[in-house]
Structure 1
């Protein structure tokens, strides 16, 4: 279901999605109230939901949509203003699965191939991941019985996941990578270990620049931890949390005996900037076996190569399991590659991290 007050944007999004052989647009609506009236008859798996609409806006409609069925996943769509970024963050905390950033004008929406590709890709991947979790299948085309392997990019935990021994060295730093579903997962993860956190935490979350500072502020307020969007030249401190800013890779270097954050705009990796791989590489190089890498929910495979380098340096990697992930792409790729010492539900990861940092993990 596509919900947007602009007839032009609504029509474009519906056409783009309908042109994909794996997607059927079951309904469109011009505001939240109309969307709610159409839910029962349309029975959508995914709702693409605009934020700013008359009669009933997206933030008001969101909890009502989720109340209708806990199987519906909502993809928020908003222009990249500071206000909309804050609203999108609230929507994620209320249960939206992800967001997509709309260009600011209708003309830009019409001509933006990147917006089109991101939108369709997220809809398809969210549906594929949910169906995998439910043991279902995603089929090619409407009414077809042939499985479309092209739209099942995420691995499944039904394969064998190898477990590695943990490092014999105690961690001195924690690196975290996340993407789709990451803001919610990060909040639960940090809250579960905030009282015993004694190490610096570096986070790379796939987000545009308008969002990352708001994410850092949100995490700081919700956890009480000293959390900030990283700045070039920041010296890392024990118990502090640093979030990579949008459009910048975040790495750590040794300068004068101090561990310093450096930001750069090198080429995107895995189509991402910030990306997890550069951060993990720098941590492996600087801390060797004393790195603890954590991969949370997310689309794609960013963090896979960096996790390999952490393991090659003698460090430890743990990942979120499929059942608790919005999309098991990133943690699944690392798990299936046999790089993890543990693959756990989100609710158990914080406690495991604390055990590892205290030398009490088995």
Structure 2
């Protein structure tokens, strides 16, 4: 791991703290983005621990280049600028950071902060080769494609690494695609208003945080609030949002499972679900219900996922009809919806 922080004290304390763990090795320290880049010319690292507030080139500006120079190292932002709801946190995630963590004063680096830091580092660490249980040669067509090409609702679920994956997905989705899109991204509630604004800016589409009674509109993004599951119900001819706060099987709040299950119930074979990067298995149960209703499920590939837990669970359950990078998933959905291709 490489620590990049302009504070000598912070670098020393973090290095000493992490030195107590056998599975974490600090191989370099840098006080600036320029110094970090020089270290990466000779040193291979799996994780970069990066501060945002530094003199010269700040961490946010340096982030994309550090990821490139490190050949895709996971970046954990540890900064006092990462309070809940902070704009810089969402901006960093959008540019490719794997996760963010609020940095306390150096005197408070032990105890709860240390535990949380190590947990996040272990979560985003590059996994070894994953052994999956899917039949060889069937990636991209693991289950039969739907018989209809009509697409009336798209649901997207994501967690760790998901903000960057969403940016890639929507970067490849043309404005001519006007199917209503529901998104459940694992983020704390204070982040959601700013994240909705970022999504609107990033996609050029109207974006709202889901609220009871809201009706999905063509071309619009509906974002699950951070403190409730977003589902759809049909009352007579009207389809609208219902928020639920009961505990999900995954333990996540919000959870992808209720959203996808409701899309299956309301839209059946005209609903599609996409599972992007994230830890755990949230989305697996909902994907199963959507598939059982005749809908299609797609998953991000392992190579481009920060954590292949959520999409990997769907793939290993043989539910995914396409397993691709986010931008290619978007193109595949458009091609399929226009009748130009099957899922394979």
Q: Specify the TM-score bucket, using the shorter chain as the normaliser.
A: 0.7 to 0.9
- Residue 283 (str. 1) matches residue 263 (str. 2): yes
Bigger fraction of residues in helix? 1
| 1:71-95 per-position Cα deviation (integer Å, ceiling 9, x unaligned) | 433211235437x73223333343x
Tell me, what secondary structure is at the counterpart of 1:196? coil
C-alpha distance 355-100 of structure 1, shift in aligned 2 (>3 A): same
1:319 and 1:340 in contact (8 A); partners too: yes
Q: 2:237 aligns to what?
A: 257
**1:13–1:254 distance in 2 versus 1, CA, 3 Å:** farther
Among 173, 184, 188, which residue is 1:204 paired with?
Answer: 184
Q: TM-score, normalised by structure 1?
A: 0.79
**Distance across 2 between alignment mates of 1:313 and 1:274:** 22
Structure 2 unmatched runs, 5+: none
Given that 2:49 and 2:78 are in contact with CA atoms closer than 8 Å, whether structure 1 keeps it comes out as yes
Q: Does 1:246 align with 2:226?
A: yes
Residue 313 (structure 2) aligns with: 333
Aligned to 2:166: 186
On the 8 A contact 2:207/2:220 being kept in 1, the answer is yes
Aligned residue-pair number: 336
Whether 1:293 and 2:294 are equivalent positions in the alignment is: no
Q: Which residue of 2 aligns with 1:101?
A: 101
Ranges in structure 1 where 5+ consecutive residues have no aligned partner: 133-153
Q: Please, what TM-score do these two structures have when normalized by structure 2? A: 0.83
Alpha-carbon contact 1:155-1:329 (below 8 Å) kept: no
**Which residue in the other structure is 1:59 paired with?**
60
Distance 1:261 1:5, change over 3 A: farther
Contact persistence 1:199–1:239 (CA under 8 A): yes
User: Which of residues 120, 140, 158 in structure 1 aligns to 2:118?
Assistant: 120
Contact 2:40 2:70 (8 Å CA) reproduced = no
Match of 1:317 among 276, 279, 297: 297
Q: CA deviation at 1:165?
A: 0.9
Question: How far is 1:97 from its partner?
Answer: 3.1
Q: Alpha carbon RMSD of aligned pairs, Å?
A: 3.1
- How much does 1:38 deviate? 4.8
